[in-house]
């Protein structure tokens, strides 16, 4: 992967909303395949994704998508022709049928021929398992079904760049597995940027992961490398350790701890990517010398 | 081959008089001419054994895909009477779908516009009738038209504003990230909304008691207001732009109503002002069209 040319290149990107600095000198390269984007709420993930989806303009910095510059009008349209975008909060025209909504998005994606549009809509509906709901009104769909519909519209036209902002939110475990399978089998090997709070999704399908904290990229590497950042910082014990940054009772009823300094003689265990991410976010949150205290894990429960 | 003569070489189970396997295979592969295809279809319609044999030749995946496409085509409403009617008068299929996603082209919105126009028209008719019965015949007094003249162009402006306000378009983020977006999409929506709202306004202007030139005289102010709003969007954002354009109509109409010369707002000197305003708005739109390209900033 080292010698591969980056399909999407971001250099020195900054974006402010009033006094809030959403992105602060962000530079990343995205290659073909799935890249996971992790970060707590407010870390700047959505801002980065909207910039890559060409619907938000950075204050400073440069973006290049397949060698095209989104600041240039004609090149921006060309990027959009190769883009599939799932916004974080996607709303729908509720009076549309499922197929009618996708037909509308297909027209926006310049698929003019009626027959080709119908074939494309049928293809993406089948990909997300909604083929039997083509005629259903969008307003009658459940949250998970709407999320799958959102993914389906992003897949229309077989995009080369997929920007998916929390696509697995609201999906049940089986649907998440199907989604992973779907991303793994995408034809043409597009560049996929996937933002989620589900670290296990990232570990399962992303060869590369970025961690965004406070508007800056704090980690870029593989999920295994992310896990390795917590090497020697995760230990188990029969009792809760008050010196740990985070503690939780594991499935075997033992306490699992995450902290900067395991006590002497502690049973240090192999960390997961999620623990690497949590340690990283706490290292940014507070100085290493801060008094250890228990804090609930920052996991979004669904 | 036809369904009439017995076919040699067919499967023993079906015997003579049926479609042979190689013809069925060719039919499924679309490699037979039209006459043979019709013969096969005529035969299998009446022959369960050949239908069964035909199904063995069909790729189930291909069949499932075709079935899905048919479901999609049915679900997109391509046979809806309104869509077919628009198709017959030459409106492209994709334009009809884009219009269906425009809030001010929904039936509920259009019915509301018709309702509002009906109320102000009725009010104008009533006031005119009462005033003409109590006053001596003389110089026509068009004061009764004030509510209609005030409201009618505003309904057109509201329809256009609804077509470009992001708050009323749940998919505006998707639209902004699509190749067909920006000013092109906006013009499709706003012009459709403009035409749809103008129909009841102009129709009512023909019906209510007023000067004969009123229906035509309303057109230019309506166009000017809508394009002023669009031009203002590029400077001050969608909602303030709609409010500003509304104020540009309400203020002069209100002032002229006080002076009992409300029709002056659509008469000759004012028409020149509306024409100038329309021209200026078009120039601003052309110069600042890039402002629509990045989508509405979050």
Based on the fold, state whether residues A58 and A174 are members of the same structural domain: yes
Is B237 a member of any domain?
yes
Counted domains in chain A: 3
Share of chain A above pLDDT 90, in %: 49
pLDDT at A287: 43
Based on the fold, state whether residues B53 and B98 are members of the same structural domain: no
Measured between CA atoms, the residue of chain B closest to residue A138 is B75
Is B16 a member of any domain?
no
Predicted confidence (pLDDT) per residue in A95-104, tens digit: 889 999 999 9
Q: Does A180 touch chain B (CB under 8 A)?
A: no
Q: Does B97 touch chain A (CB under 8 A)?
A: yes
pLDDT at A66: 94
pLDDT at B124: 81
CB A152 within 8 A of CB A126: no
Based on the fold, state whether residues B97 and B148 are members of the same structural domain: yes
Query: Of the residues B58, B82, B111, which one is the last residue of a structural domain?
Result: B58
Based on the fold, state whether residues A7 and A123 are members of the same structural domain: no
Query: Of the residues B13, B32, B58, which one is the last residue of a structural domain?
Result: B58
A87 contacts B101? CB cut-off 8 A: no
pLDDT at B169: 82
Q: Which of A50-54, A153-157, B260-264 has the lowest mean pLDDT?
A: B260-264
Measured between CA atoms, the residue of chain B closest to residue A102 is B76
Q: How far is A155 from chain B (nearest CA, A)?
A: 13
Helix axes A143-155, A173-184, angle to 10 degrees: 10
CB under 8 Å to B266, separation ≥6 — which residues? B149, B214, B217, B218, B220, B221
Q: Does B171 touch chain A (CB under 8 A)?
A: yes
DSSP string for residues in A206-217: -SEEEEEETTEE
Q: How far is B190 from chain A (nearest CA, A)?
A: 16
Domain that holds residue B189: 93-292
pLDDT at B139: 52
Q: Which of A22-31, A279-288, B118-127 has the lowest mean pLDDT?
A: A279-288
Q: Which of A82-86, B2-6, B79-83 has the lowest mean pLDDT?
A: B2-6
pLDDT at A255: 87
Average pLDDT over residues A213-217: 92
Q: Does A54 touch chain B (CB under 8 A)?
A: yes
Query: Of the residues A175, A190, A221, which one is the last residue of a structural domain?
Result: A221
* B12, pLDDT greater than 70: no
Q: Where does the pLDDT of residue B15 fall: very low under 50, low under 70, confident under 90, or very high at 90 and above?
A: low
B104 vs B281, residue with greater confidence: B281
Neighboring chain B residues of A134 at a CB cutoff of 8 Å: 68, 71-72, 74-75
Which helix (H) or strand (E) segment holds residue A293: the answer is none
Give the C-alpha distances (Å, rounded to integers) separating B55 from A178, A229, B1, B48, B49: 31, 59, 19, 11, 10
Most confident option among A77-86, B30-39, B173-182: A77-86
Question: How far is the C-alpha of B140 from the C-alpha of B128, rounded, in Å?
Answer: 10
CB A288 within 8 A of CB A261: no
CB A291 within 8 A of CB A243: no
Share of chain A above pLDDT 70, in %: 92
B179 contacts A77? CB cut-off 8 A: yes
B176 contacts A122? CB cut-off 8 A: no
pLDDT at B9: 43
A95 contacts B74? CB cut-off 8 A: no
* B4, pLDDT greater than 50: no
Q: Where does the pLDDT of residue B133 fall: very low under 50, low under 70, confident under 90, or very high at 90 and above?
A: low
DSSP 8-state code for residue A297: -
CB A25 within 8 A of CB A198: no
* A299, pLDDT greater than 70: no
pLDDT at A104: 93
Based on the fold, state whether residues B188 and B277 are members of the same structural domain: yes
**Mean pLDDT, all residues of chain A:** 86
Domain that holds residue A212: 1-82+159-221
* A219, pLDDT greater than 90: yes
Is B188 a member of any domain?
yes
Is A302 a member of any domain?
no
* B129, pLDDT greater than 80: no
Predicted confidence (pLDDT) per residue in B42-61, tens digit: 999 999 999 888 888 888 78
Query: Of the residues A167, A196, A221, which one is the last residue of a structural domain?
Result: A221
Instruction: Give the CATH number, domain containing residue A10.
Output: 3.40.50.300
Measured between CA atoms, the residue of chain A closest to residue B296 is A55
B72 contacts A109? CB cut-off 8 A: no
Based on the fold, state whether residues A106 and A252 are members of the same structural domain: no
What is the torsional sign of CA A234, A235, A239, A241?
Answer: negative
* A292, pLDDT greater than 60: no
pLDDT at B94: 85
Nearest to B96 by CA among B114, B108, B78: B78
pLDDT at B96: 84
* Strand, coil or helix: A249: strand
A100 contacts B171? CB cut-off 8 A: no
Q: Does A59 touch chain B (CB under 8 A)?
A: no
Based on the fold, state whether residues A170 and A146 are members of the same structural domain: no
Choose the closest CB to B179 out of A94, A110, A122. Answer: A110
Q: How far is A149 from chain B (nearest CA, A)?
A: 13
Based on the fold, state whether residues A59 and A189 are members of the same structural domain: yes
Choose the closest CB to A104 out of B65, B69, B97. Answer: B97
pLDDT at A298: 40
pLDDT at B14: 61
Q: How far is A112 from chain B (nearest CA, A)?
A: 7
CB B60 within 8 A of CB A88: no
A-B contacts at Cβ under 8 angstroms:
124
Which helix (H) or strand (E) segment holds residue A17: the answer is strand A8-17
Q: Does A45 touch chain B (CB under 8 A)?
A: no
Based on the fold, state whether residues B52 and B104 are members of the same structural domain: no
The model carries a pTM of 0.80
Tokens representing A291 are 């008094």
Based on the fold, state whether residues A49 and A4 are members of the same structural domain: yes
B253 vs B80, residue with greater confidence: B253
* Strand, coil or helix: A85: strand
* A107, pLDDT greater than 90: yes
CB B99 within 8 A of CB B105: yes
* Strand, coil or helix: A236: strand
Share of chain B above pLDDT 70, in %: 89
pLDDT at B99: 83
Q: How far is B181 from chain A (nearest CA, A)?
A: 7
Sheet holding A267-268, edge to edge: A246-249, A255-258, A234-237, A267-268
DSSP string for residues in chain B: --SSS--TT--TTT-TTS--HHHHHHHHTT-S-HHHHHHHHHHHHH-HHHHHHHHHHS-HHHHHHHHHHHHHHHHTTTT-HHHHHHHHTT--HHHHHHHHT-GGGSHHHHHHHHHHHHHHHHHHHHHHHHHHHHS-S-S--GGGGHHHHHHHHHHHHHHHHHHH-GGG-TTHHHHHTSSS-HHHHHHHHHHHHHHHHHHHHHHHHHHSSS-TTHHHHHHHHHHHHHHHHHHHHHHH-HHHHHHHHHHHHHHHHHHHHHTT-GGGGGSHHHHHHHHHHHHHHHHHHHHTGGGGTT----
* A224, pLDDT greater than 80: yes
Is A294 a member of any domain?
no
- Torsion (CA) A199, A202, A205, A207 in degrees, nearest 10: -130
pLDDT at B294: 59
Is A301 a member of any domain?
no
Based on the fold, state whether residues B45 and B98 are members of the same structural domain: no
Counted domains in chain B: 2
A170 vs A79, residue with greater confidence: A79
CB A133 within 8 A of CB A96: no
Predicted confidence (pLDDT) per residue in A8-28, tens digit: 999 999 999 988 999 999 999
Based on the fold, state whether residues B48 and B143 are members of the same structural domain: no
Share of chain B above pLDDT 90, in %: 17
Q: Does A83 touch chain B (CB under 8 A)?
A: yes
Q: Does A126 touch chain B (CB under 8 A)?
A: yes
């Amino acid at each position: 992967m080292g010698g591969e040319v980056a399909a999407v290149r971001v250099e020195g990107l900054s974006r402010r909303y009033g006094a809030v600095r959403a992105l602060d000198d962000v530079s990343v390269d995205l290659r073909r395949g799935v890249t996971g984007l992790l970060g707590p709420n407010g870390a700047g993930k959505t801002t980065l994704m909207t910039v890559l989806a060409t619907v938000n303009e950075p204050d400073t910095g440069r973006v290049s998508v397949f060698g095209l510059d989104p600041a240039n009008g004609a090149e921006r349209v060309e990027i959009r022709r190769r883009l599939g975008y799932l916004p974080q909060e996607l709303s729908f025209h509720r009076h549309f049928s499922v197929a009618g909504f996708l037909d509308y998005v297909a027209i926006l994606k310049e698929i003019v021929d009626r027959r080709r549009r119908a074939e494309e809509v049928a293809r993406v509906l089948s990909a997300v398992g909604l083929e039997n709901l083509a005629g259903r009104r969008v307003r009658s769909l459940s949250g998970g079904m709407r999320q799958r519909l959102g993914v389906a519209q992003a897949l229309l036209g077989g995009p080369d760049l997929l920007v998916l902002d929390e696509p697995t939110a609201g999906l049940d475990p089986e649907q998440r597995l199907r989604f992973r399978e779907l991303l793994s089998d995408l034809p043409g090997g597009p560049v996929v940027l996937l933002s989620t709070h589900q670290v296990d999704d990232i570990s399962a399908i992303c060869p590369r992961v970025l961690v965004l904290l406070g508007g800056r990229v704090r980690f870029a590497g593989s999920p295994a490398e992310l896990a390795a950042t917590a090497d020697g910082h995760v230990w188990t014990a029969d009792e809760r350790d008050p010196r740990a940054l985070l503690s939780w009772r594991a499935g075997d009823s033992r306490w699992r701890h995450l902290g900067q300094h395991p006590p002497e003689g502690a049973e240090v265990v192999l960390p997961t990517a999620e623990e690497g991410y949590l340690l990283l976010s706490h290292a940014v949150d507070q100085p290493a010398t801060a008094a250890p205290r228990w804090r609930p894990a920052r996991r979004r429960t669904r | 081959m036809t369904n009439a003569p017995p076919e040699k070489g067919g499967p023993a189970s079906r015997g003579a008089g049926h479609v042979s396997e190689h013809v069925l295979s060719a039919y499924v592969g679309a490699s037979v001419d039209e006459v043979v295809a019709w013969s096969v279809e005529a035969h299998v319609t009446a022959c369960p054994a050949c239908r069964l044999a035909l199904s063995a030749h069909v790729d189930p995946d291909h069949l499932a895909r075709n079935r899905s496409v048919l479901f999609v085509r049915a679900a997109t409403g391509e046979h809806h009477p309104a869509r077919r009617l628009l198709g017959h008068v030459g409106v492209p299929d994709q334009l009809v779908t884009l219009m269906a996603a425009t809030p001010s082209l929904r039936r509920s919105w259009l019915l509301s516009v018709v309702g509002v126009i009906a109320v102000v028209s009725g009010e104008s008719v009533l006031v005119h009738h009462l005033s003409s019965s109590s006053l001596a015949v003389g110089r026509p007094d068009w004061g009764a038209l004030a509510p209609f003249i005030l409201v009618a162009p505003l309904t057109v402006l509201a329809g256009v504003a609804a077509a470009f306000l992001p708050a009323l378009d749940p998919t505006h983020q998707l639209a902004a990230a699509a190749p067909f977006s920006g000013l092109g999409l906006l013009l499709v929506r706003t012009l459709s909304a403009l035409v749809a709202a103008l129909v009841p306004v102009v129709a009512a202007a023909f019906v209510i008691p007023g000067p004969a030139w009123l229906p035509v005289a309303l057109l230019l102010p309506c166009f000017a207001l809508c394009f002023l709003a669009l031009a203002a969007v590029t400077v001050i954002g969608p909602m303030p732009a709609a409010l500003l354009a509304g104020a540009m109509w309400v203020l002069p109409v209100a002032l002229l109503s006080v002076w009992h010369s409300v029709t002056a707002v659509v008469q000759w000197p004012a028409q020149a002002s509306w024409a100038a305003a329309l021209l200026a708005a078009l120039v601003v739109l052309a110069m600042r069209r890039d402002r629509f390209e990045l989508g509405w900033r979050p």
